[in-house]
Structure 1
């Protein structure tokens, strides 16, 4: 038992981690919708949070792209795509911080319900791949 890979491979670890995160966020959005709407609006109005989110997204996305850039025809490609999306999103937030304001309407009642369901389903799928 010398290394992490003897316990669990990186794809499975990331699927478990992101699966739990997406399930928690989706459940939070389902149970406390108004709180998430207020939080998202506050985050988009505060440039400090936008820039910090950009730094975190670039760091996480770059790590995933560097260590999990696996383009295969199975579920593991989902992790790779999430990494690339995080990297691109982070770069956009750092280059054009005001761009985030275009997504304010996403959490409105009309779109927010679909987003909540999509996040929950994505979390379920990743959790399934990671744990089963």
Structure 2
């Protein structure tokens, strides 16, 4: 559980900021994504780094508990799969990516999903830092 909390504290704020950035600056993020997709070198490099991060995350946290901790494992597996695809077939990533970006609702959906996942991780990662939660847990500990 400690590892899950640590990783939630690490990933949660990053996902929240990315989600907010996409929602608040959609056109800029769309332009960046299109520029990214025009470079096979960037697609490849991001694939290697994403795969490496995904493998590290799954290696450190491979838990399918059916609760919030599963989000961390899913992020790791998405990193592995996304990285593999980018490394193995960067030309397909360019073609498919451009067709997906042509859908106007795509950036809003992605921004919202990333924001919600990040907010959940922030909540569960920093729950002990919230005054009401800390008092409840302190009372439970003192009763034991």
Q: Distance in 1 between matches of 2:118 and 2:78?
A: 16
- 1:15 pairs with 2:42: no
Matched, 1:53 2:46: yes
In 2, Cα distance between equivalents of 1:20 and 1:130? 10
RMSD: 1.7
**TM-score (structure 2 length as normaliser):** 0.78
Does 55-64 or 103-112 show the bigger shift? 103-112
Q: Do 1:37 and 1:107's aligned partners in 2 also have CA atoms closer than 8 Å? A: no
Aligned to 1:3: none
Ranges in structure 2 where 5+ consecutive residues have no aligned partner: 128-144
Task: Choose from 104, 107, 125 the match for 1:109.
Answer: 104
2:126 counterpart of 1:131: yes
Q: Which has the larger radius of gyration?
A: 2
Counterparts of 1:17 and 1:111 in 2: how far apart (Å)?
26
- Aligned pair partner of 2:55 in 62, 65, 79: 62
Match of 2:17 in 1: 24
CA distance in 1, matches of 2:10, 2:64: 20
- Cα deviation code 1:60-119 (max 9, x no counterpart): 111112111122232212211211111111111111112322133247422222222222
Contiguous gaps of at least 5 residues in structure 1: 1-7
Deviations 1:28-53 (A, max 9, x none): 11221111011000111111110111
Taking a change above 3 Å as real, the CA distance of residues 77 and 60 of structure 1, as seen in their structure-2 partners, is same
Alignment of 1:38 onto 2:31 = yes
